[in-house]
Structure formats: C-alpha cells, structure tokens
Structure 1
Amino acid sequence: MNKYCNNAWIEVVEMLNSDQDKGLNSIECDARREKYGTNKIDLPSGNRISRNIINIIKQVHIIIYLIITILLFMLKANNYKYIILAFLIINIVGIIGYNIKRDKEIGILEKLNFATSIVIRDGIEQVIKSEEILIGDIVKFKKDSAIPADIRIIKAIDIKVDEKNITGETFYKEKFESKISGSINSLGEMNNILFKGSLIKAGEGEGIVISTGNSTQLGKLLAMLTYASNRKHTLGDKLQRKWGKYLLIYFAILIVSVIFFINKGKYPNQLASGLFVLGCFPISVTSVLAFKCILKKFSNQDIHIINFSIIDLINDINIIFLDKIGAITKEQMVVNKIFTNDEIIYSKNVEYTKNINIQRIIDISLLCNNSIYNVEDKNAKGDLTEIAYLQYAAKKQIYKSILDNKNQRITEIPMDSDKKMLTILDKMKKGYRANARGNLDSVLERCTHIMIDGLEKELNEEDKIKIKDIDIKFSIEGLITQAFAYRNFSYEPSTSENIESNMVFVGIIALDNPLQDSIEEKIREIKDNGIVPILFTEENKVSAITTAKKAKIIFKNEQVVSGIELDSLNEQELKDLLGKVRVFSRINPEIKSQIISFFNKDGYKVAAAGETLGDLPSLNLSNVGIAKGNPLLIVKKVSDVYIKENYLEGFFKIKDFSRKFFDNVNRTFQGIYTIVLAELMLLLVSMIGGCEDVLGVFNIIFINVILFVPLSLILVLKEGRSIRNKEMIGRAVILLSSTIFSTYIANESAKNLIALMVLSIGSLLFITINSNISFRRVSIERRLVIISSFLIGLAISAILLTQEIILTKVVLINLGITIISLVVFEILFKRWQNSLMR
C-alpha cells in the first residue's frame, strides 16, 4: 500500500497499466477479472435466519420443547398448548435475534457488494455494479458516494471523507492527490488513498483502483471480524447444553412416572400440567437480564465486556502476552535524570535558569512536543513521554504555551519506524531552529557538534562512546532514554532540504516508568494460575532485562530477545526459540502476530492486549483479545473486552468472576429444578391419590414464569453454596410435604391459593438463605428479594380480590405453622452446613 502513497499518481497509473482518460478496455477487463477476481467481499453466505433456525432446532432443549408442544396439542390441553407454543417461539426468536445482532455490523456492509459506481472504460463513463470493479479501473466520485474499492486519488477537489469503518476516526478526513514522502505508519496517514466502505462527505474527484474485494483494507478487517465472531462466541451454546441436560432428565422422569397410569386407561390431566411445568420457563428473558446486570457490574469497574463468552474463554488461557505499559508498569512517565554538559544531574537538582544546557534541553522537550497538560486540574492528553516533559517543566515553572508564543512552529518532520526521531522547525526572534528528540542512535548519527557550557564544539568519537556508555548505564537502571539536539538556520529552510543533518547534540533525558503496585504478587498470581506471562516492550534489550527482573518475569538475561535478533531467524529457528524467551524487546507487529500464531498452532490458549490497528492481527488470533488505552472502534470490535487502565488487574477480575459464574449457573439450574421437581412430585401425588390438581394454570405461570425470573437472577448474581442431588430431592420432598400438609384440611376453593403461597414463599426462603443475602447492605440481590416478596404479595392479593375464597382459622394456623417450619428448617440447615465446613 505504501508504494501507492509514496509515488505520484501518474506513476501509479503506469504501474497498473491503465489510462487516466480512457481507463481499461473490454479485453483487459476479462484478463484482470481472471487474474485478480471480482470486487465482492466474501461475507458469511446464505440466509442467516434459515441457517440459525436449522442450528437451533438441533439443540436438546429446543427438541424437548417441540415434543412438549406436540404432546400438549395431542392431549388437546387448550389451557396450556398455546402458551407453551408462544414460549417456544419466544425462545427461538430470542436466540436468532442474538445471533443476528452479533453478525449485524458485518452483514450491514454487505450492501457494498451491490452498490453502483461510475467508471471510465474504453474512454466512456459507465455505471456498473461495484462488485464488477477491477484493479486499474478509473473511478469517479462525488458527495455521498460510497467508495467501492481501495483507490489512489488522481484528482481531488475539496474532498472530505468519513472513514470511521476503516480507521475508527470519527472526524472527517481531508484527502489530496499529491504523493506522500517518508514512511507511513498507519492507515490514518494515507491521505491520498480512499478506502472501500468510506463515504465522500464533501467535494469530488477521481482515482484509480489499487485493491479489490478481500484484498481491500475493509475486506481484511471483515475477515478478522468474521473469524473472531465464529470462533469466540461459545458461552451461549455451553449454557444451552446445560439447560438441555436438566430439561431432558426431568422430561424423562415425568414420562416414566405417568406412563403406568396412561397404560391403565386413566387419562391424567396432570400429564398436561407436568408438561406445562417443564415448558413454562423464560430462559431467554432471564439470560438477557442476568447478562445486563453482569455487564453493568463490570462497567462500573471500567471493564467493558464486548463478547460475553470471555467468561468462558478466559478459564482456558495458559499464556498471556503483556505490553509493558499498562500491565507491568503504570501509564506514567517521570523525568528521573538528565545528562548534559558532560555530567549526570538528578531531576530534583536541576536549576533551569543557571545552566544554558539545561535550558536548551528542557526547551526542546517542550517545543518538540504535541501533547497537552493542564497545570490547574492536572489533566493530560497525549504521549506519556511528552506528558512527562510537560509535567516536569511545569514543576520548574516553565510552560510550553509561553515558549510557543516566542517560537512560531513552521513545520514538523514526524517520527517513523525507520527514523526514530521527531523534529520541529521553529521561527525565533532571530533566525530559525530545528529542535529534535528521539532514539539516541538516530539522533547521534545526525549530529556533528556537541553543546558544552552553551558553546558548540565538534563531536568526536570519544564523545560518542561516552554518550553511548551513559545511555547504556541508564538502561541498566531500567530507565527509558531520549536524546536531544538542535540546528540553527539564518534562513528558512525548505521542506526538501535535509533539515535533520549537521545537528548539535545537547544531551539525554532518562525517564522512569514506575512498576504497577504489587506487580510481583500479580506475576506470582499469573504463574500460580498455570499461566505463562510473556512481555512485549518498546524499550531496548538492556532496559527490558532490568524491568522484567524487577517484576519477577525472568531470572536470566537469556530469556530476553530483541527484534533485531529475531529478524535474522527463519521460521523453525523462531519456533525453537519461543519455549525459552519470556520478553520480546522492540519487535514489529508482524513478528508479534507470528509468535502468537505459533503458540496457537501448538494448542496453547493465549490472551493478548492491543490499542492500535497494528495490533488487530494479534487480537484476532488470540483466544481472549483485550483492547486497552484509547483504541479505535475497529480494535474494540475485534476484542473481547475493553479495559482502559491496568488491564492485568481487570483480566483477573474477570477470571475470578468466571469461576463464581459457572458455579452460580450450576446452582441456578439446581435451585430452579428443585422447585420444578417439587411441582412434578405434587402432580404425581395428586395422580396417585386421584385428587384435584392444586397447581393450576395461574399458579404454574406465576411461579415458573414471573417468580422464577428474580429468583434465577439471585442465584446467578450471588455466590452461595452448591446444591447436591440428594439435597435437591430432599428439599423437593419438604416443599411437597409442606404443600400437602397446608392444603389437606382446606376447602377446594382455597387449595390452589394455599399451594401457591407455600411453594412461592418456600422457594423464596430456600434461595434467599442459600445465597447468604444480607439485608443490612444495599445490593441488587436484596432488591430482587424485595421484588420477589412484592410479587408474591401481589399474586395473593389478586386471587383474594377476584375469587370468593374463605380461609378458616384452622387453615390459617396450619399455613402459619408450615411457613414458620420452613424458616426454622432453612436456618438450622444452613447452620448445620456451616458447621460441617469448619
């Protein structure tokens, strides 16, 4: 892509064997279509809804729901069949809706394959489908045009483009046709390229197609999104399988239990009620509410979960790739020492006004600086190193704004991966000055003089050796260094002139990047969890060794390797090295992705963090991708979670919750199906005794649909004791016995109400006490208990108001004894279990 940016558009047209005025001819089109393919991006094919339905009906719980629905229609259970059918449809639609929403951001771009564009072919303007565009086509565009392919601009008239789909930038970008000199580090710097999927918001022009279809930047990004979407969304399937398992067991119990009575010719209405009990459960609603509560909980801790399946994926991680800043060290730089005038000065001992060398190096650090620091509220924005210079100068009462007023910025020569230095040309009162800062080797090789006591002296080899020795000394201490230089001009140099030459070396500023609090304990925690920490850092190898040893990531120098060393290795040599290395210093994104890919192929589950477009491949390849800092929108979409600060701590918060979450999910199914078992047993007892069904439609709907929602949320959100199979059966028997005891002497009209009260209150007591909910502290679980109590009271009041039910004194006494007995039982049972745990 860079070759199209760095060459004039005329050269690009020649390079692609096209013609600005005539475009491609018909014969060439056929040949290019054969060679390069079409401009269509391969998105997930087929009808999504039909594909989802086929996948859904294969799931166990959906099959059982289908069978339940069919049986209810066969039994002609008019009170139940349509309700269960509605629940079946709601659950299917909910799952389909979730899957479609997951693919929506990818699928919405499918329309790009079917838009139209204006091209020049055989010297004539033609309107063709965007998918038919070929490399070398001359394309015309104007306001509101959707860019159909990656295009090198030939003519630009006041063009402004919305390209947030590609770069994630929310502001409009100005574009031009001129070539770009120097290295280009990101898509955002390609100001003479239009990307497929972007939109012209103003102006018009034309350009030549340089990439089509899957080879476009959009195609590559969508491939990553599709891959991540298909590979990483695992939690829903796992929970549905668990739900299907419980449902299958209880369905089998119900069928086996009633088959004897059906064979004897008895037609039990209780069979229909039993099927209704099993099928009447709002799992989709409960899941959505639970997920929202969990997402909000993490959001309050500045952890934004993007893919909820991270709760599942994070448990399998056995390698975590860490970026130094944000994980091992704080997102903060502090000026520690300054080397100038042939001496090392501690930052606290610096006197700005008494040393011209100190004045010059601090002035350069402020003038050669694009960050912002507000002295009053301490707010800062920009590069951490630049912010450190601003903060340090402010402590010495030196301010960038004052220097900027005295020195007018003329031009900037940006830092790039080849030339690791930044240069700013300023106009002063007398003449012009180029101020530069950056990597010591890059700066030093451009210097011919050195500043000593404010005077410029020739820089000799002895000086260079001493300067490099000082730099190594700083690195051994774990400090990060930048060199500073300048060059004076009596005239305004042109941008074509080699401004960054014959410079005067001023000195080195050494910065400290403090370790995170208790980082040694965190690294120990990583290792204790069976996870191998591997560090990526932008500091040099010497400094990387010091930092990694302080954090207890390594104990031997041989465990650190630099990017330069890796460049000379072939694939097999790199693979052999990976088992030994724990720190990689100054490696490029391509090598980083290759390293992650090697571990993936060997069956390791990896987690990695990233912030820029260069991190996309690493995030995409990782089993858990963590967006950090201030990432672009596309980086967030590929990631599983966004943690702005201290993502290592956030990683373990999610991991700790994950363990509790799966325990809570098991407990939720165990708790809910304990109540379901009690309901089924009550139906079977009424079958055997030939009694009237005391559950009824309203009771089942209230308990299994309305009350189960807050009760399920309590179990999912609040950590509690696991419920064993024996306890499930025992509690179901207690609920059954309590219901029979309470309803035994009641008249027929009151039996349903009493059954509802005992089952509802008993279920609430069981789940509240089991979950150890404190009523002294405000929590979502306490609110859910209050909501459940309110719902029970509301249901009882509604029945009493709408039906003529008389509760005798004996019945009320009986009911009171039952409820008190349930409270006493739960309290004693909890104390007994606590005593066993001591």
Structure 2
Amino acid sequence: MWFDAPSQEVLQKLNVNPDVGLSESEAKERLEKYGENKLASQSKKSLWQLFLSQINDVMIYILLVAAIISAFMHEYSDTIVILLVILINALIGVFQESKAEKSLEALKKLSTPKAIVKREGIIKEIPSEEVVVGDIIILDAGRYLPADLRLIESANLKIDESAFTGESVPAEKDSNVTLANGNIPIGDMINMAFMSTLVTYGRGTGVVVNTGMNTQIGKIADMLNKEEDNTTPLQRRLASLGKTLGFGAVGICILIFVISMFQGRDWFEMLLTAISLAVAAIPEGLPAIVAIVLAMGVQRMIKQNSIVKKLPAVETLGSVNIICSDKTGTLTLNVMTIKKCCINNKLVSINDCDLGDNDTKLLFEGMILCNDATSKDGSKTGDPTEIALLDAGIKYDLYKEDLSTDHSRVDEIPFDSDRKLMTTVNKYDSHFKAFTKGAIDNLLKLSDKILLDGEIIDFTQEKKDEILKISNLMSDEALRVLGLSYKDIKDESVSIDSLEKDLTFVGLMGMIDPPREEVKPSIALCKQAGITPIMITGDHKNTAFAIASELGIANSINECMTGAEIDSYSDEEFNKIVNNYKVFARVSPENKVKIVKAFKFHGNIVSMTGDGVNDAPSLKAADIGVAMGITGTDVAKGAADMILTDDNFTTIVKAVEEGRNIYANIRKAIIFLLSCNLGEIVSLFVAILLNFDPPLLPIHILWVNLITDSFPALSLGIDPKDPSVMEHPPRNPKESLFAEHMGLFLALNGVLIGGVTLAAFLLGERLYMSSLVHAQTLAFVVLSFSQLFFSLSMRSREKSLLKVGLFTNKYLLLSILLGMCIQFLIIIIPFFADVFNVFILSARDWLLVICISLIPFLLNEIFKLIKYHR
C-alpha cells in the first residue's frame, strides 16, 4: 500500500516531479504499460442466452425428450402442447431477467469523464481513461476522483466516501500524515483518496498510484465479476424434484416393459403405454405454473414498493432467517441531525430547547452564522455537519438567510483541519460578535469565560471539567459534538490573530445520523418471525452500537466486531464465531462478503441490504440482495435481486411475509399437481399390472395435466394470505417439499384419484361392454373432475372448506367451472371428440361421473372435520 510511506518517497518510487508532472511521452508509455483507466466489462447475456438459461433444467429436458418421442410416434398434438408449455415458461423468465446484471456497467458510469492533471508543468483537462500511474491530479470541491491517489498536498480537504465506505459524513484528508504499516481500514486512510469519490470541501493535489481494475473500486468490480449467482431454495427443490420424477419416469417405463414382456404384448403397444406412464409421471405444467405464480407475486410486491428482478427471489424471501443490513441510509436517514444541546451546563434534547432564553438563542444564532452551508426552499448545499446546524435552527424558525441579512459577515477565519475551528465576525447593531465553532478540546483552550444563566463568569478548570464530562456523555451516545464560543468586538478592524483569543464559551450541540422511526417495530417483528437482524457498516464501532442498541439489534458492545478484528481470523475461524456478533463496524467490502458467507456456512438463508458501491459484492454474495431505490447507487441496484422503491426497512419485512405466503401457495400447487399425476400413474399402472385395457390415452393425460390441472393450480398459487404466517419461524432451508407429512398426504390422495378413475373405467367396461372408447371417456372425465373438486381441499390441510370459506378464493371457483365447461365441450362437440377419441356421454353418464369424482374431495373434508372435532 501507499499510505505507509511519506509523499516524497511515493513520488520518488513513481519517478515524477510534482511541480512538473509527467511528460506526454512518459504518459503514453505508461498508458501502454498499465492500460486504460477504466473498469473491465463483463459480456452481457444476449436474449438468446437468457432463453437457453431458462430451459437449462432437468424437468425441461425430460419434457423435451417426451416431445421428441411423441413426435416419433406421430403423436403430434402431444408434441405441440409440450413444446408450447416449455416456450411459455422460458419467455416468462426472459422477460423478468432481461434487465438484470447491470452491476459492472453501473460501476463504469461512476468513473468521472474528465480529470484535471499536471503534465509538462501545464494544468490540463483530459479524459479519465487517459489518466496513468504517476499523473499529478488537481482536486477541488465538486469534482470526482479519476483514480486512487496518494495525497501530496491538502488544504481543508474533505471527501464524501459514503457510497464507498458507508460513513455518514465526509472524510477529512491530510497529505502530511504517514500511517503505520498494517491492516488499516479504507475509511481511516486519511492520506489517500479513491476513485469515484467526491471532493466536498477544500482543495488538494495527489499522485495517481492505481488505475482501472487495480483501484479499490476496481477490486469491487472484480468481486462482482467473480461472485457466482446463487440458486434459491425453491430452484434447488424443483431441480431435485425434476431429477426424482425423471428417474421415476424411466423406472416406470422399464418396469412396464418387463411386465408387458411377461404378458406377451405387442412391443409397439408397450412403447405407447410406457410413454403414457412417463407423461403421467411428469407434471408438464409445473414449470410454467411456478413461473406465473412468482410473476404474479412480483406484481403484488411492486404495489408494496418492492421491485424483484429475478422471479425465484420472491420465494427466497420467505425462507430468509438472517437480514444483514447496512446502517447508513438503510437503518438510518443518512442525514446528520442535531439530537442534544448543552446549554447552561445542562444537557437537553433538541426538542426541549427554549429560544426565549437568550443563552439558547445565542447558541443557535452562532452555529447558524458561523456556517458556510446553505438551506433554502428544500435545497441544501455544503458539509452535512453544517447543514445539520441549519436544520436545527429551521426547527425553531431561525433561517440563515434572515440572520445573515440582520447580522452580515464582515470577516472570517476559514475552517482548518489542524485547528479544527472556524470563526466569523458578524455585525450586531453598534458592535460585532466573533463566533468560533469547532472541536471541544481546542475550543476550551481558547475560552477563559463561560456564559451561564445570562451571566459571563470565569471559566475555571472545574467548569471546563463539567463541560468535558457532558461532552463525553454525548460522545458515549455516538453523537458528533461541536462547541461554540464568542467574543464581543467594538471595532471590525480588530486583527485576525486576536479573534480566537479570550473567548466566552456558550454551549455544545451533538448530532448523529438517526435511525428511521419505522425501523424499530420492523426489527421487533423480524425477531418475532424468527429472523435475526445484523448491522454491517463502515462507520465507527461506538456509532454503530449506539444505533444498534436503540433499534434493539444488539444489547452489548461485546456483540460488536470491527473489520480489523475480522481480518485477524481465517475464514474457518471466523465461521465458528460469527453467530456471537450482531454488529460489524468499520468493515471493508471484502469483510462484508466474508460475513455473508460465514452466516451462509451455518445453513442460513441470508438477505443483505445496502445502498453503496461498497455493498455491491455482498449483495451479490447473499441469497437475496436488497438495494435501496432512492439513495442506492446504480451499482448496488445492479447487483441486487430486489430493490426497495421507498428505502424503507419495513418494506423488507412485508416482502418476507409475501415470500412466505408465495412459497406456501406454490407448495399447495406442487402437491396438488403431483397428487393428480400420481392418480394418473396409479390408474394406468394397476390396469397394466392386472392386464386390463389402458383406461387413458396419452392425449387424455396431457390434456388433464396442461389444461384441467393448470387453472386450479394457478388459483391455488394466489390463495389469500395466511394472517399468522409471521408468527412462525422461517422454515428450514433444507426442508423437503414433502415435509410435515405432505408426502403421505400426496400418496393417499394420488391413490384416491387413481382409484376412482380406474373404478369409473371398470364400471364403464361393465356397463358398455362393446365400447372401450366409452369406458375410457368415463375414466377421462372422472380423472378431470375429481382433480378439479380435489383442488378445493388443497386450500388447507387443517381447516375444512366451510371454515376457510367457499368464496374466499373466487379464482379457484372460476377455474373449476371453466375446467368443467371445457371438459364438457370436448366431449359433446364432434370435432374435439374425434381429436381426443372420446364418446359423447348421456345425462346418466354425467351424473355418474360427477358422483364418483366427488369422492376424494368428500373423504378429505370428512377427515378434516373429524380431526377438527378431536
């Protein structure tokens, strides 16, 4: 690093004269050697690549194989329907993800387009891409830094590094300091300046020590580039389910072949039968239904100020049990605010100040007049610390514009980082007042009087100790403390040197970036729901703990750890102790990623929230990254999975609730579809095992899977919210879809549906002995109707339909009616009857199939009623 060497030594190493700068020829050579000063870009996925990524799934592969075999067997209608489902599923995913992965592009935009450099003794403006190591850069207020610099000159230089380090206030820089060699946080490197940060005050000169991908922001870009996308719990479960169903389908096909060989059946008939069972084993509509349910969840969340960039992230929220949150701008307002004042040796809240008291009024007036910030009509400029002083005055109708008109500034001593003081001389009727504000230690040395209860008395050491004690109390609450002293002057011609002598001390003001009011109850709700909130910030340890304690995140300073302490542990060691801490302060971007990965090591599903450039790698490393939409940088938004449009931590909690409900509904849809498919397998397998004629044709199974089942499954996917969902802890991320006896529930209902389908077929063969088609039609309709009625029971495993409410999910009722009507039409319309190879049923047949179809639904409801009464 360059911070541990004197500036002259750095200049010698880089072989550059600060008065002259590099020659154009030397700059050209270095440009060829180090490359352009820009961030490496990652090739973006084309729409075609996005499309291919959507079909890179085991279940999709199985469907493609089924489509190919169906086409080979001249079952073209089956092929078309399967391919249509795959296409719909892929298009939904492409639509949702086409705007993602903008992290590196946003990082590139952060680089300033121009830089002021000194070359061959001439100051000139060049494109930032042409800046090279060794260039001398001129810094002034309002200009972004083009590269990483070692400062060689600084005059009251302050640089806003909030989006980079997470600190609320601009960092004061000093070129003359040489830091000790060691592991020093970026926020403490006061002799360094970094690419894409903003100069807010003063001026300076620096020599470029790193460009492009070698800068600190380049390292962040590199981490974003390397960090792999995480699959969500639902994606992992569906992938596992797809493999299981795939192996099951193959196993069933082999078993049928073996059985059929013993039965002496025709090989072509065996292959058709095996395909029928393979089709029955796989819920073709499942990928599309899951995608659509997630997409509908996304639309609901937009109304709740959450924009989800990737569909599976909706479900991931439901299993989150750790929320790692940035402090500045996320848990806090990112606005420095006066909280307490010390007046007449008493510490009072800003809300309890009495400006009718002359001492209090003088404190406010002095802080506003000795101030270079502006605040007018909602537009604020200047140092955040000084803006906070103006805002305190506005609270009591004291405006700088009015005070400056009444008490014009006639002289000043600007703020100096060595003195840590600022002095102005303002006109008051027949005399002048010199106000001096700044660091309390320096101010006490210059003050020999104190204003107490309207009287000016000697400022004894005892009185100074009292003030220091109050100042320390404010510091213990992580307040940034500023003091004010003054002196009356008869003549404005008084010498500058005497302005900061023999002062009268007035009081103190303490400020902090306060927590958002709505965050504390949200944190309490998180804890109730079994979610652990963790604070991660670039701010100092005491400041971080003060906020964390107020919000209820941490109870003891022992639950806080600094970035330097994190670096002292190996990954393995840190993984073991990470659960003991709730606050991580003064951390680097690398630290944040290490923290997220450590929590993930213990099997947690981790959400990371943030708004700064420094948050981007950890946002991407987390299971779900959440960026702030208002204060968030483009980099953070690009790396995140979800963006909060209102920057409200409470919105995350609402999103978690939505995610939990969506997962519960998706699970209902999956169990419903698999129960129905198992019913198809049972009816076909038993029929073949017992050497019966096939009760269903492949097109019957496809039709039921894709049309009859799909609408109720979609309706279950948007079932009304469970109001008690946040009263339970997050589900285990390793929990199976079939946990809580769902596997047994699925099996029993699959057997029920398969049983009534086969019963209808056998009854049809007995009633209509001359017509296999008539019997298959009865089985086809019973299979369809029994699944439609069964969907009503799927709304709740515990509560009967009467308790849940028949009309609370009107979409499900409409889906059932629609499914019955479509089924009725394909039976009675001759064209469709020929396509599906079905028989037109009589009124007696329809009454018979409805009664048989109601059996699974009625048995489920009776069981729930018995269980409820017990």
Is TM-score (shorter-chain normalized) higher than 0.5?
yes
Q: Any gaps of 5 or more consecutive residues in structure 1?
A: 124-136, 167-177, 199-206
Distance apart, 1:360 and its partner CA: 2.1
Aligned positions of 1:507-656 closer than 5 A: 507-509=507-509, 526=527, 529=530, 531=532, 541=542, 544=545, 548=549, 551=552, 553-554=554-555, 559=558, 571=568, 582=581, 587-590=585-588, 594=591, 597=594, 600=597, 603=601, 608-616=608-616, 619=619, 625-628=625-628, 630-642=631-643
Q: Any gaps of 5 or more consecutive residues in structure 2?
A: 148-152, 164-169, 172-192, 199-205, 723-739, 834-838
Choose which of 719, 723, 733 in structure 1 pairs with 2:754.
733
Distance apart, 1:15 and its partner CA: 5.8
What secondary structure does 1:24 align onto? helix
Larger relative contact order, structure 1 or 2 (CA cutoff 8 Å, min sep 6):
2
Distance apart, 1:467 and its partner CA: 0.7
Choose which of 75, 90, 114 in structure 2 pairs with 1:77.
75
TM-score normalised per structure 2:
0.66
2:360 is equivalent to residue 358 of structure 1: yes
- Structure 1 stretch 209-218 or stretch 543-552: which is displaced more? 543-552
What secondary structure does 1:831 align onto? helix
2:785 is equivalent to residue 761 of structure 1: yes
Distance apart, 1:571 and its partner CA: 2.5
**Aligned letter for 1:78?**
Y
Residue pair 2:756, 2:782 contacting (<8 A) in 1 also: yes
What secondary structure does 1:230 align onto? coil
Q: What is the rounded CA distance, in whole Å, between the counterparts of 2:499 and 2:760 in structure 1?
A: 91
Specify whether residues 361 and 64 from structure 1 end up closer, same or farther in structure 2 by C-alpha distance, changes over 3 A only: same
- Structure 1 stretch 427-436 or stretch 735-744: which is displaced more? 427-436
2:470 aligns with: 470
Distance apart, 1:465 and its partner CA: 1.5
1:236 aligns with: 235
**Aligned letter for 1:65?**
L
Residue pair 1:665, 1:716 contacting (<8 A) in 2 also: yes
2:737 aligns with: none
Distance apart, 1:312 and its partner CA: 4.0
1:265 aligns with: 266
Aligned positions of 1:66-465 closer than 5 A: 66-85=64-83, 87=85, 102-103=100-101, 106=104, 141=127, 182-186=157-161, 211-216=210-215, 219-231=218-230, 235-261=234-260, 264-268=265-269, 269-277=272-280, 281-306=284-309, 308-309=312-313, 311-312=315-316, 315=319, 320=324, 323=327, 338-344=341-347, 350-353=353-356, 355-364=357-366, 396=396, 398=398, 402-403=402-403, 406=406, 440=440, 450-452=450-452, 461-465=461-465
What secondary structure does 2:157 align onto? coil
Specify whether residues 758 and 426 from structure 1 end up closer, same or farther in structure 2 by C-alpha distance, changes over 3 A only: farther
1:129 aligns with: none
Residue pair 2:414, 2:422 contacting (<8 A) in 1 also: yes
Specify whether residues 614 and 552 from structure 1 end up closer, same or farther in structure 2 by C-alpha distance, changes over 3 A only: closer
Quick one: percent identity of the two aligned structures? Answer: 15
Choose which of 785, 791, 814 in structure 1 pairs with 2:848.
814
Specify whether residues 647 and 369 from structure 1 end up closer, same or farther in structure 2 by C-alpha distance, changes over 3 A only: farther
Specify whether residues 138 and 821 from structure 1 end up closer, same or farther in structure 2 by C-alpha distance, changes over 3 A only: same
Q: What is the rounded CA distance, in whole Å, between the counterparts of 1:714 and 1:502 in structure 2?
A: 79
**Aligned letter for 2:824?**
I
Q: What is the rounded CA distance, in whole Å, between the counterparts of 1:775 and 1:324 in structure 2?
A: 44
Specify whether residues 522 and 702 from structure 1 end up closer, same or farther in structure 2 by C-alpha distance, changes over 3 A only: same
Q: What is the rounded CA distance, in whole Å, between the counterparts of 2:142 and 2:822 in structure 1?
A: 60
2:697 is equivalent to residue 706 of structure 1: no
Distance apart, 1:240 and its partner CA: 2.4
What secondary structure does 2:482 align onto? strand
Q: What is the rounded CA distance, in whole Å, between the counterparts of 2:391 and 2:142 in structure 1?
A: 36
Residue pair 1:290, 1:713 contacting (<8 A) in 2 also: yes
Deviation track 1:564-606 (CA, whole Å, cap 9, x = no partner) reads xx87998369989977975769x5343x854763684694566
Specify whether residues 152 and 770 from structure 1 end up closer, same or farther in structure 2 by C-alpha distance, changes over 3 A only: farther
What secondary structure does 1:184 align onto? strand
Deviation track 1:732-755 (CA, whole Å, cap 9, x = no partner) reads 324424653785557777777755
1:131 aligns with: none
What secondary structure does 1:352 align onto? coil
Specify whether residues 21 and 751 from structure 1 end up closer, same or farther in structure 2 by C-alpha distance, changes over 3 A only: farther
What secondary structure does 1:506 align onto? strand
**Aligned letter for 2:468?**
K
Distance apart, 1:182 and its partner CA: 0.6
Q: What is the rounded CA distance, in whole Å, between the counterparts of 1:400 and 1:545 in structure 2?
A: 31
**Aligned letter for 1:571?**
S
Distance apart, 1:63 and its partner CA: 4.2
Q: What is the rounded CA distance, in whole Å, between the counterparts of 1:784 and 1:149 in structure 2?
A: 64
Number of aligned residue pairs:
770
Distance apart, 1:359 and its partner CA: 0.7
Residue pair 2:307, 2:642 contacting (<8 A) in 1 also: yes
Q: What is the rounded CA distance, in whole Å, between the counterparts of 2:775 and 2:143 in structure 1?
A: 71
**Aligned letter for 1:185?**
D
Residue pair 1:526, 1:533 contacting (<8 A) in 2 also: no
Residue pair 1:475, 1:540 contacting (<8 A) in 2 also: no
Distance apart, 1:341 and its partner CA: 2.9
Q: What is the rounded CA distance, in whole Å, between the counterparts of 1:58 and 1:403 in structure 2?
A: 68
Q: What is the rounded CA distance, in whole Å, between the counterparts of 1:236 and 1:180 in structure 2?
A: 55
Q: What is the rounded CA distance, in whole Å, between the counterparts of 2:615 and 2:827 in structure 1?
A: 61
**Aligned letter for 1:597?**
K
1:670 aligns with: 671
2:187 aligns with: none
Q: What is the rounded CA distance, in whole Å, between the counterparts of 2:756 and 2:382 in structure 1?
A: 63
- Structure 1 stretch 533-542 or stretch 249-258: which is displaced more? 533-542
Deviation track 1:100-132 (CA, whole Å, cap 9, x = no partner) reads 75446658999999xx999x9x99xxxxxxxxx
Specify whether residues 815 and 390 from structure 1 end up closer, same or farther in structure 2 by C-alpha distance, changes over 3 A only: farther
Specify whether residues 57 and 103 from structure 1 end up closer, same or farther in structure 2 by C-alpha distance, changes over 3 A only: same
Q: What is the rounded CA distance, in whole Å, between the counterparts of 1:653 and 1:443 in structure 2?
A: 48
Distance apart, 1:672 and its partner CA: 0.6
Distance apart, 1:537 and its partner CA: 9.5
1:483 aligns with: 482
2:824 aligns with: 796
Distance apart, 1:680 and its partner CA: 3.4
TM-score normalised per structure 1:
0.69
